[in-house]
Amino acid sequence: MTKLRTFEFLAVDLDGLAERPGRIALLVNAEGRMSPAARRLNRLTKGAVARLLEAERWEKAKQGEVISLAYPAGLAAEALDVVKLERRPAVAEARKAGAALASAVGGKALTLIGEGTARLPQMALALALRGYAVVNHKSESAEAPEAALVMCAKPEETGKAAASLLAVAEGVAFTRDLVSEPANVLTTEEFAARLQALTELGVEVEVLEEDRMAELGMNALLAVGQGSAAPSKMVVMRWKGAEGDPLALVGKGVVFDTGGISLKPGPGMEDMTMDMGGAGTVAGVMKALALRKAPAHVVGLVGLVENMPSGTAMRPGDIVKSMKGDTIEILNTDAEGRLVLCDVLWYAQEHVKPAAMVDLATLTGACIVALGHENAAVYANEEGFAEDFLKAAKTEGEGAWRMPLAQAYDDMLKSPLADMKNIGGRPAGSITAAQFLKRFVRDDVPWIHLDIAGVAKVKSATALAPAGATGWGVLSLDRMIRDRFETKDD
């Protein structure tokens, strides 16, 4: 598993700067006003800092930008990275600076001189997340980044605030690791084993096997995996940091999706290792909650299956009965994620009794057609719940866009042979998928469906992630849980 950069927070030590190894980062505001540390570094480098701050290059630099002075005279460090940042930056500016610094520094040892600058915990979060190295299976994998030493005015207070955010960063990294793994490594059994390991952090974990799911009538989920040699599983993770009815997080965990008998085209099928992205996000949130000891009651439920074509696979035209009791006509075996989610959603309502539910899935290509790779699609049955999530997503800088639900879309799922079809045709494909899931949500349960097909894994680097798995949703869900579902001290 990926090891993120670790951080130590200490008081400013001006006398030790000359001998600090690796790289030194200095924060300076737009006016170029030099702090005590800046003056000391300027003296050590024989005026190099002052020359930079008087240069046109500094004037044109944007907030959060980094200008590096390589091998500065008078310092043991191999570079002095000067970061343009105000003393009281906005969260987005602090994160931008941290991400830019991560790109400049790589995995080298870092001394960040924060002095009295606010938002240092946000900088640390961005440094950790943007410095994430994708898990790979090369013979020579990248080494873990060296530790960062943050010198600041209030190290104990800053370190405590950073620890909570860095716990969430660990959750994001867990999600990215899971989504990045190939399907021959992250099988349904291996996925379940990695989730069971969360018991070491205090999470209660239960794994339901195929025989138990069959007893419960989870035939829609089981139909998806019946063509694979890999056993289907459902994993239930409970973090009980508070009393009361829990928030349920439900994730689609298709570890590989060939499309089944409705086989996908060959080109690009290798990307279907990420079709467990919803389950990966749920896992990341659960790890984050446990690491930061969140005062909240949250249950994560994920359906783990593999969708393969074989002599035992479900076929177009099959009719299956869900756990709810509704029958579903299978017109396309590549619309399998909703079959997994519908049974897990119903199980959650029957056995977890949630106060609210959020499901996540890399569900439809139609979502990518509609929103590209900038936003996840957000569907909800309650306005207040939807607004709470959208506010959290905006705060955390994760793209999310509200989409409609309506009877006309639901009517597109009518079947002459069963209670519903599993697809509604090409038009509004992401919406009809959401309408399908809504049929398995009770009217009195606040519910959000997040179609993350376009944001779970991307080809180009984002603000806080290198190209590849993003861990989208961990930050936003953690923020919403903090704001809406945590018990507050009187």
Residues identified as active-site: 264, 338
How far apart (Å, rounded) are the C-alpha atoms in residues 423 and 341? 14
**Run of H or E residues at 190:** helix 188-196
DSSP-based three-state secondary structure for 104? helix
Which residue type sits at 364? T
Residue 144 near residue 6 (C-beta atoms within 8 A):
no
Can you say whether the dihedral through the CA atoms of 212, 242, 438, 277 is positive or negative? negative
- 451 Cβ contact list (under 8 Å, min separation 6): 361, 362, 363, 364, 367, 376, 377, 379, 430, 433, 434
How far apart (Å, rounded) are the C-alpha atoms in residues 366 and 353? 32
How far apart (Å, rounded) are the C-alpha atoms in residues 171 and 198? 11
Place of tokens 């590989």: 256
**Run of H or E residues at 281:** helix 277-291
- 5 Cβ contact list (under 8 Å, min separation 6): 102, 107, 110, 127, 128, 131, 144, 145, 146, 147, 148
Residue 231 structure tokens: 């056993």
How far apart (Å, rounded) are the C-alpha atoms in residues 173 and 162? 16
Q: What are phi and psi of 419, to 5 degrees?
A: -70, -25
How far apart (Å, rounded) are the C-alpha atoms in residues 457 and 224? 23
Q: Report CA 222 to chain centroid distance, whole Å.
A: 27
DSSP-based three-state secondary structure for 139? coil
Neighbours of 270 (CB within 10 A): 11
Can you say whether the dihedral through the CA atoms of 168, 172, 173, 174 is positive or negative? positive
